[in-house]
Amino acid sequence: MRKGFEGLLGLVKERLGLSLLSGHLFLFANARRNRLKVLYWDGTGLWICSKRLERGRFSWPAEGDEHGKVQLSYEELALLVGRIELGRTRRKN
């Protein structure tokens, strides 16, 4: 995953059609799903956080819209970053 601030910002605006000022975290993974980047605007500047796995892959959510956009809850994000397979978990009502 080579994209930096400008490249990821372009993806948010053009491909996802969203505003960076929304307060959301934007997650991106490489094709092998062993690297993850988070893009976030805190009101004064842009943050990029990244994680590279030494072994294994992130369990990326399978479902999404036509742009590949998936909305995750805080708990689902924590599970994804913790390498817990989202497909094997379910929400309780």
Structure confidence at residue 83 (pLDDT): 82
**Phi, psi angle pair for 69, to nearest 5°:** -80, 130
Structure confidence at residue 82 (pLDDT): 86
Q: Which two tokens stand for residue 25?
A: 């975290």
Structure confidence at residue 16 (pLDDT): 87
Cα–Cα distance for residue pair 33/31, rounded to 1 Å: 5
Q: Where are the domains of the chain?
A: 5-88
> Which of 19-28, 45-54, 57-66 has the least mean pLDDT?
57-66
Higher pLDDT, 22 or 89: 22
- The pTM assigned to this predicted structure is 0.79
